[in-house]
Structure 1
Amino acid sequence: MIRRIAALAFLSLLAACGGVRDDLTTAPDPIGNFLLGHNIAAAVDPQKGPFSRDATNEEWKAAVEQAVADRLGRYDGDAYYHVAIGIQGYVLAMPGIPAVYAPKSVLIFEVTFFEDATQRKLNEEPIQLTVFEPCCSIPFLGSGLSKSREEQLEGLAFNAARAIERTMRENADWFGGTPEVLEEDATILSGNRMAEIQAEAEAGAEAGAAEAQ
């Protein structure tokens, strides 16, 4: 039965992955006078969540900085702003057991914005965010069954950059623009959700052990 469910889930996954990510080759609507200055990501031994593959500090730094550069480097305002990102935790999902527990890939980070002209912080306290992979979220099929570690890492970095851009639009007055009200995105959550992720993992592991008996 589980094998049959897994097969159906895989077919659903293929269909779901037909969805496209937003196009980074087009010019975005401006966010005030924002122009990307320094883009710095730091990963100092972030917490590795349950059932996770490994990733190095250097891999996270490179992936997030590239994703932010690709997204925010498209803006052509006339005032420089700097973006500082701190990687706090992650899960690069291992293959799970369909219909029992499928770990989700997650990245937890904080972001701070700086105005170049004044060298002041635009948000006094770092903004904490938790992001999941931007595509192919089938409830009973984790991406560990369908994606490599590198693909998971790239997808999370891509969505982290999206989350940062959304935060900027919601607080566009920081950059001389008008704040926007955006629709909720289920793959982007506020705060550090690692405790919830660990609790879900423990419950999933218990369910998996019970199913195996």
Structure 2
Amino acid sequence: MIPRVAAFCLGLVLLAGCQRNDLKEPPAELGDFALGLNIVVADNMQKVPISRGATVEEWEAAVSRAIDARFGRYQGARLYNIGISVDGYALAPPGIPVLAAPKSVVAITANIWDDAAQKKLNPEGEKMTVFESLSGASIVGTGFTSSREEQMEALAYNVAKRVETWLLDNPEWFGLPPKPKVVPETESK
């Protein structure tokens, strides 16, 4: 039994180590996208009471770095500006390992603008709730295994990845054909 648990934990740790390797791969297809302005604000964010503390400046810097790392890889012919508001967060404090291992989370609102057209592409801000990734550390509780800076860096990475997924779901914004609509199959009677 113990060797199986050890192998499972080792697998989770290796999985966590692979988390950021996707930035070394070529970026997904986003048509004519190139990152223009990267604006991150956190001056109105709320902290969940049980959370570790973090400053506005720390959140703005962490998310801005993650957006630059992910979207700076795109070399399209047209500039697009990304705006993100950090609305709230919880950085997991130490808890009871495994039984009550709190998870870190951040809530954001994202917007995208076509720089040349000086036009916002999404009619309303896209609200997203982003959790820490599953890993051996998150099962025990990142409050025990990670500093608050490491938690913020991991959440910021997940924010940038989630924003990229949102943009990929809207290819028409970047000169690509729209994604086909998925029509649910109906059962024959």
Distance 1:79 1:57, change over 3 A: same
- CA shift for structure 1 position 169: 0.3
TM-score by length of 2: 0.84
Cross-structure match for 2:185:
none
Alignment deviations for residues 151-178 of structure 1 (CA, whole Å, 9 cap, x no partner): 1010000000000000000111111124
Counterpart Cα distance in 1 of 2:5 and 2:46: 30
Cross-structure match for 1:163:
162
1:15 equivalent among 8, 11, 16: 11
Moved more, 151-160 or 138-147: 138-147
Moved more, 35-44 or 47-56: 47-56
Cross-structure match for 2:76:
77
Coordinate RMSD, CA, aligned: 2.2
Cross-structure match for 1:101:
100
**2:144 maps to amino acid:** L
Contact 2:132 / 2:154 at 8 angstroms: preserved in 1? Answer: yes
Alignment deviations for residues 57-94 of structure 1 (CA, whole Å, 9 cap, x no partner): 00000000000000011011101100000000001100
Distance 1:137 1:46, change over 3 A: farther
Contact 2:137 / 2:145 at 8 angstroms: preserved in 1? Answer: no
SS of the residue 1:24 aligns to: helix
Q: Between the two proteins, what is the percent identity of the paired residues? A: 43
Cross-structure match for 1:55:
54
Counterpart Cα distance in 2 of 1:145 and 1:9: 19
TM-score by length of 1: 0.75
1:174 aligns with 2:170: no
